[in-house]
Amino acid sequence: MNTQELCPLCGEGHVTLQVEQVENEYKGQKALLPQHFKQCNHCGSDFAGAAEAKLNKRALMAWRKQVDGLLTGREITALRTQYKLTQAQAAQLFGGGPVAFSKYENDDVAQSEAMDTLLRVVRRSAEAFRALLEEKGMPEVSAEVAQTNRPALRLLDTNQYRIERQREELSPHYNPRAFRTFKSTEDKAWKN
């Protein structure tokens, strides 16, 4: 019994999954991303089915999130699991709709800059997480979960704080101050 998929174009050959690295450009940056497709061994045709198209879209979206300085799907998943939230609880807590976190984590869509900023604040501060739980009145997320995620407090001297701020400012992630500066310059040019 042959389990290989027949070519939908010629009907005679069998298709195999292929992956090639293809150069992409976004906002002046270039990267090689995996391009998934199927290829027929008889007619040589190549095409992407629904599954391959989804993989290609997710790889592109993950890279674009990085270029835009947004948290990637993996980082959002890590944040959600850090606080032991389900995707539904995260959507209820942060907003964005009932399946938003599934889409963010799978890199199906990019979260807004406002959502990204909120996630970063909560990732940095368990106190902010608890305050958000209280603000949203979410009794199903127990106080026990909130307490287990409380990091040990540490005091930073002024020098250490300055070093950590510099490290953060140099990271390739979203910098709201740089965005605002760009936006205000763009607005001035537009108004003139």
The number of C-alpha atoms within 13 Å of 99 and in the hemisphere containing its C-beta is 5
pLDDT tens-place string over residues 48-106: 989 999 999 999 999 999 999 999 999 999 999 999 999 999 999 999 888 999 999 99
pLDDT tens-place string over residues 30-44: 999 999 999 999 999
Looking at per-residue pLDDT, the higher value among 161 and 48 belongs to 48
Q: What are the extents of the domains in the chain?
A: 15-68, 71-151
Predicted confidence at residue 167, as pLDDT, reads 65
**Highest mean pLDDT (candidates 38-42, 137-141, 160-164):** 38-42
CA–CA dist 144, 35 (Å, integer): 44
Predicted confidence at residue 180, as pLDDT, reads 47
Looking at per-residue pLDDT, the higher value among 163 and 120 belongs to 120
Compute the average pLDDT of residues 152-168.
61
Predicted confidence at residue 156, as pLDDT, reads 54
126 conformational bin, left if phi > 0, alpha if psi -120 to 50, beta if neither: alpha
Q: Which CATH architecture is the domain 15-68 placed in? A: Roll (3.10)
Chain-wide mean pLDDT for the chain? Answer: 82
CA–CA dist 125, 31 (Å, integer): 33
Q: Determine contact, residues 101/90, Cβ cutoff 8 Å.
A: yes
CATH fit for domain 71-151, picks 3.40.50.970, 1.20.1050.10, 2.130.10.10, 1.10.260.40: 1.10.260.40
Share of the chain above pLDDT 70, in %: 70
Q: What is the pTM of this model?
A: 0.65
Predicted confidence at residue 139, as pLDDT, reads 65
